[in-house]
Structure 1
Amino acid sequence: MNILIWAIAIILLIYVLVVASSARLLIKPKRQKIWTNPRQDVGLDYEDVEFPAQDGVSIKGWFIPALQTPAATVIMVHGWPWNRIGTKADDILGDLPGSKPINLLPFTKALHERNYNVLMFDLRNHGESDAKIPLTSGWLEKRDLLGAIKYAKSRAEVDSNRIGTIGFSMGGNTVVFTLPHSTDIKAAAAVQPNTSAIFGQRYRADKFGPLDKLFGPAIEILYRLSGGPSTAFIQPAYEAAGARDIPVLYVQGTGDKWGSVDDVANMVASTPNAVEPLYPETDHRFGGYQYVVDNPDKVLTFFDKYLSK
């Protein structure tokens, strides 16, 4: 009997720890420190910048001027729970389990060499930006991107008629949620955006198998108690329908067990001016991000077409 009681207690403890850890990642993830910079990593001069989000949250980032200015500008939006550089994926207590390293700075360099200004920043609750919990998978984070657009327009180096943006994962969601609320975005790319409820279910199924349904409701309750909206409410495809005539490029890896090609295809179908999406063959979710880093011309050709003079 004592052995049975201890076994039940251990199982319950593991359950509570998994639920609490998962909820923490959704509400207030552990921050990744800035571990390098554009000059050190890819030889680019940069300026430390700070600006307010639309709702006043202080946002920090880097501005990397183009070779010749004024020039077109691309604003980069990172994923969850990354920072403006990407993710080192080396912290078992802070990273989403199963993550792999991603460095966005080589893609930044490719943009710079094509004569784009680049604005990179940390979303709220990430990196060096201020906190305002909980995370909302892009729904409220759009205020950070709207602040970034306003800041970019204030700079003499920026041609305010040629502003584009690219987002990765939650950053892709942020881009999609922002499109109906800005007439300044002239082209947008979303790399593996996702519907929160679909992503959560697929992630838990990948990690916990048939036990996944034991965790979802408890995680949702804790998230809602923190002030978060119902994850069923966070629907990028609905917002995509309000993107008007903004050209949007979607990228989604075929081997993504957490995200979904069908989910992204639904966003493509909802977007009035979606261009032909990219569905690279991958063996992991992070392969989709790495595809863009390793093949920058695929996205740069898109920006060149819609952000040229």
Structure 2
Amino acid sequence: MNDEQSTRLIQEVANGFRLQPRAPILGTPTDENLEYENVTFPSEDGVPLEAWFIPRNGSDKLIIVNHPRYFNRYGFPSHIEPWRSMFAAGGNDFEVNLIPDYRILYEAGYNVLTYDLRNFGHSGDGNGSLCTGGIFESRDVVGSILYARTRHDLKGMTIGLFSRCLGCNATIHAVARRPEVFTGARCLVGAQPVSSRVILERILELAGVPSSRFGDLDRAVRLVTSFRLNEMSPTNAAKKVTVPTFLYQVHDDVLTRPSDVQTMFDNIPIKDKDLFWIMGTTRRWDGYTYFSKNPIKMLAWFEKYMS
């Protein structure tokens, strides 16, 4: 890739932080024969968030679920265009349907609240539609917990968190910023949190952009978002996590580096933590579908801390 092409790609990547395509919601819990309510609640800063609440009769336990960047509470339609082309180069060209996850949680005895982060799905626009790697999105995590604690039929429930990618970044940032909100939250299962710098540099590297241009990416992103890439990373925020945390990640994910999640895990300052590597694939999407196929470890974590 020549210098002009590199400059164009770097600017396109940076512009993507404010021009995020919304994916359609192509399913509902009805697809898994689950009864549900369409609900809405405000983020910490007032952005309206759209959600599904899936009740489990007789249960006093609630799992609050969010999603990766570009996804929504349904998942991501990467089996059809234009969403397929976004990540096909990494082999991530198949549908990720998260709705079966809710069936698994329901059958394990949990109520489920799953919401669209700001600027995705049907939730409202916030902060000029910017993606900030979890900084502003952390307000949505806070809003979801406050909703659960103030809704009359949920406020006495035991809460666990199931957060993925950008949603996990947001949860880590939220714990660091508003620790008092998480008092009583029993545990976190986190799928594939990621530092924006790492994933973007890998994308540029795969496209043939020389590493000498990576500093230009940081500057371009700052001009769009006002944040440096390192500010968006949950790595430092992980040092303030006090919730028992189980992280899992595709070890050979072509879009990241193992050292990124390993550093986040190492920075979590408590003993009640675990890190599970998914082996035998390079596709990031296999990390998002792993729970629906192999939920035992994650369910065991919830059971351990929510009993």
TM class by shorter chain equals 0.7 to 0.9
Deviation per CA, 1:170-198: give whole Å up to 9, x if none.
11211221223232421001111112112
Question: Residues 1-309 of structure 1 correspond to what in structure 2 (within 5 A)?
Answer: 12=4, 18-39=9-30, 41-69=31-59, 71-89=60-78, 90-92=80-82, 96-98=86-88, 99-100=92-93, 101-132=95-126, 133-158=129-154, 160=156, 162-180=158-176, 181=178, 182-205=182-205, 207-209=206-208, 211-213=209-211, 216-244=214-242, 246-273=243-270, 274-283=272-281, 284-308=283-307
Instruction: Give TM-score scaled by structure 1 length.
Output: 0.87
Q: For residues 164 and 265 of structure 1, do their structure 2 counterparts lie closer, same or farther at Cα, with a shift above 3 Å needed?
A: same
The farther-off stretch of 131-140 and 18-27 is 18-27
SS in 2 for 1:166: strand
Q: Which structure 1 segments of 5+ residues have no match? A: 1-7
Amino acid at match of 1:265: Q
Q: Distance in 1 between matches of 2:50 and 2:286?
A: 28
- Identity, % of aligned pairs? 28
Amino acid at match of 2:267: S
The Cα of 1:145 is off from its aligned counterpart by 0.8
SS in 1 for 2:274: coil
Q: For residues 56 and 83 of structure 1, do their structure 2 counterparts lie closer, same or farther at Cα, with a shift above 3 Å needed?
A: same
Q: Distance in 2 between matches of 1:251 and 1:93?
A: 25
Q: Distance in 2 between matches of 1:240 and 1:228?
A: 22
Q: For residues 194 and 47 of structure 1, do their structure 2 counterparts lie closer, same or farther at Cα, with a shift above 3 Å needed?
A: same
The farther-off stretch of 265-274 and 110-119 is 265-274
Amino acid at match of 1:299: M
Tell whether the 8 Å contact from 2:49 to 2:115 is kept in structure 1 after alignment.
yes
Q: Distance in 1 between matches of 2:154 and 2:280?
A: 35
Q: Distance in 2 between matches of 1:290 and 1:306?
A: 23
Q: Which structure 2 segments of 5+ residues have no match? A: none
Deviation per CA, 1:254-291: give whole Å up to 9, x if none.
12121222211111111123422111214111112222
SS in 2 for 1:96: helix
The Cα of 1:81 is off from its aligned counterpart by 0.8
Q: Distance in 2 between matches of 1:80 and 1:255?
A: 20
Q: Distance in 2 between matches of 1:214 and 1:96?
A: 24
Q: Distance in 1 between matches of 2:185 and 2:125?
A: 26
Of structures 1 and 2, the larger Rg is shown by 1
Q: Distance in 2 between matches of 1:159 and 1:234?
A: 31
Q: Distance in 1 between matches of 2:280 and 2:82?
A: 24
Q: For residues 269 and 49 of structure 1, do their structure 2 counterparts lie closer, same or farther at Cα, with a shift above 3 Å needed?
A: same
Q: CA RMSD in A?
A: 2.2
Q: For residues 201 and 227 of structure 1, do their structure 2 counterparts lie closer, same or farther at Cα, with a shift above 3 Å needed?
A: closer
Deviation per CA, 1:188-233: give whole Å up to 9, x if none.
011111121122112221x313x24476445444432233411121
The Cα of 1:75 is off from its aligned counterpart by 0.8
Amino acid at match of 1:79: P
Deviation per CA, 1:61-91: give whole Å up to 9, x if none.
111111324x111111100111111111123
Q: Distance in 2 between matches of 1:156 and 1:212?
A: 55
SS in 2 for 1:198: helix
For these two proteins, the number of residue pairs brought into alignment is 293
The Cα of 1:36 is off from its aligned counterpart by 1.3
Instruction: Give TM-score scaled by structure 2 length.
Output: 0.88
The Cα of 1:121 is off from its aligned counterpart by 0.7
